[in-house]
């Protein structure tokens, strides 16, 4: 007879030793066959995604309140534990999560599905999109998540979340896409646009984790829940996320180099493909002979299915060494060697282009110049002079202002180098736009404004 322990509180019986759980005397082969018969597409998708999902824990100082002395030492303030989730986007240890998960935290700890734990650090963040890139240093190669598209999402289709819900790691839930293009305002400072609404459970701790489709492809980053409601959660659509992630992981940001490839994604019957919409003047891409319309197939051995893959493929590239890029031109694959250039070479010529296009002469400044307006800014472009009757003059930008950001549609970009301005203006989202929103710091306050994109400006931009 099997032995058992009785728990009288709820009348449960727990067997301490019993015939194996999966069957009374069934052999291992039979057990596997029975389990295989229950394997659904959701089970397969979860198995595919789980190695790429991480749990994130951290500490942050509690906010000061009137219950604490105004002159209290920093070490006297209590600490609170934070939790969230993330997804591996590159095998070298790059992890994508929400900015609010790692904002102003200390001691970031990343736990993988297999139970291993590694310290993490914040590399880049995009506060407006509420995204951040973490880096972990590990000797093993990580499993990046398969990135899909949110362009073809259907209301009612099955989606899955995995994350650190309420601290319960690797929690899986499934549901459907409830609606698309939702706008959610949490505060005056945080407005989310174009969100995916889902009834798949999103709880505290799920933030930064994946929303995936039935094929195990990342189609959103979980970001918010509706307080007091059940079955209403929201995720950032992956097509918006990819644009921000590509900027955060750009060679300009992480390696101090530039390549000059301006690309966009297109949905085709064969999946998402990446095409060049422009090549920056004076860049290594221009010297190498890339052309508008080239389809980027591989960069440095990385298969390319989105703009982020271009940056990943060039991230370890060094000036003076060529990286092989495979393009498809007129239906024929062609190998083109590309050499990145130091960013310092581009800032002078790009600064001159900003002057000619917008009438702005600027110089980069660090976070110490912008901290009084916001401690979350990394710097900006100090306006040294404004050309009379220029686009900048018509937009009321003045000498002494600090240009800290540009918005193209729902995309939010920081401007800490002159080449950022040109890069933003050349994005596919800018095509057909007549205005672009800017943000400046004036007298230690942030002010928005609108910059007119005239036909002559756009023509000169692409010369």
Contacts of 393 (CB under 8 A, 6+ apart): 359, 386, 387
DSSP 43-93: HHHHHHHGGGEEEEEEEEEPPP-TTS-TT--GGGS-EEEEEEEEEEEETTT
130 is catalytic: yes
Q: How far, in Å, CA of 83 to CA of 98, rounded?
A: 11
- The tokens describing 130, both together, are 């509420």
Q: What are phi and psi of 202, to 5 degrees?
A: -120, 115
Q: How far apart are the first and last CA of the chain?
A: 86
H/E run at residue 348:
helix 343-358
H/E run at residue 241:
helix 238-248
281 is catalytic: no
462 is catalytic: no
Of these residues, 207, 244, 305, 346, which one is catalytic? 207
Of these residues, 52, 55, 58, 130, which one is catalytic? 130
Residue pointed to by tokens 């509180």: 9
Closest CA to 238 of 151, 174, 313, 180: 151
Of these residues, 100, 259, 412, 417, which one is catalytic? 100
DSSP 280-331: -TTSHHHHHT--TTPEEEEETTEE-SSHHHHHHHHTT--TTS-EEEEEEETT
* Catalytic residue IDs: 100, 130, 207
């Amino acid at each position: 007879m099997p032995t058992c322990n009785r728990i009288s509180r709820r009348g449960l019986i727990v067997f301490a030793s019993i015939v194996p759980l999966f069957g009374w005397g069934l052999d291992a082969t039979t057990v596997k066959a029975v389990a295989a018969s229950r394997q659904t597409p959701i089970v397969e998708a979860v198995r595919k995604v789980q190695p790429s999902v991480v749990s994130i824990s951290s500490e942050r100082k509690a906010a000061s309140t009137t219950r604490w002395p105004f002159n209290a030492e920093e070490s006297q303030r209590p600490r609170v534990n934070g939790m969230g989730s993330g997804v591996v986007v590159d095998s070298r240890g790059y992890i994508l999560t929400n900015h609010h998960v790692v904002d102003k935290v200390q001691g970031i700890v990343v736990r993988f599905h297999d139970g291993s734990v590694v310290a993490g650090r914040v590399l880049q963040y995009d506060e407006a999109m509420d995204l951040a890139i973490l880096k972990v240093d590990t000797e093993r190669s990580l499993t990046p998540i398969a990135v899909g598209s949110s362009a073809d999402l259907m209301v009612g289709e099955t989606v899955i979340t995995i994350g650190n819900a309420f601290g319960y790691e690797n929690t899986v839930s499934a549901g459907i896409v409830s609606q698309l293009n939702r706008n959610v305002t949490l505060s005056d400072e945080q407005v989310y646009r174009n969100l995916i609404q889902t009834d798949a459970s999103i709880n505290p701790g799920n933030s930064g984790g994946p929303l995936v489709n039935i094929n195990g492809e990342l189609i959103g980053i979980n970001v918010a829940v509706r307080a007091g409601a059940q079955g209403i959660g929201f995720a950032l659509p992956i097509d918006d996320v990819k644009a921000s992630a590509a900027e955060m992981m750009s060679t300009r940001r992480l390696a101090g180099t530039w390549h000059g490839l301006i690309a966009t994604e297109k949905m085709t019957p064969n999946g998402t493909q990446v095409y060049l919409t422009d090549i920056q003047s004076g860049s290594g891409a221009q010297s190498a002979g890339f052309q508008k319309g080239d389809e980027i197939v591989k960069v440095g051995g990385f298969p390319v299915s989105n703009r982020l893959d271009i940056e990943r493929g060039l991230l370890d590239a060094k000036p003076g060494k060529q990286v092989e890029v495979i393009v498809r031109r007129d239906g024929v694959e062609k190998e083109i060697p590309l050499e990145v250039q130091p960013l310092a070479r581009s800032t002078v010529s790009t600064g001159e282009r900003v002057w000619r296009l917008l009438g702005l002469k600027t110089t980069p400044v660090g976070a110490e110049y912008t901290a009084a307006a916001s401690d979350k800014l990394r710097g900006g472009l100090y306006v040294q002079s404004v050309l009379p009757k220029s686009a900048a003059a018509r937009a009321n930008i003045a000498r002494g202002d600090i240009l800290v950001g540009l918005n193209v549609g729902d995309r939010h970009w920081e401007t800490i180098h002159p080449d950022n301005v040109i890069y933003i203006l050349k994005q596919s989202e800018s095509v057909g736009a007549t205005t672009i929103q800017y943000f400046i710091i004036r007298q230690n306050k942030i002010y928005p404004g609108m910059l007119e994109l005239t036909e002559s400006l756009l023509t000169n931009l692409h010369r």
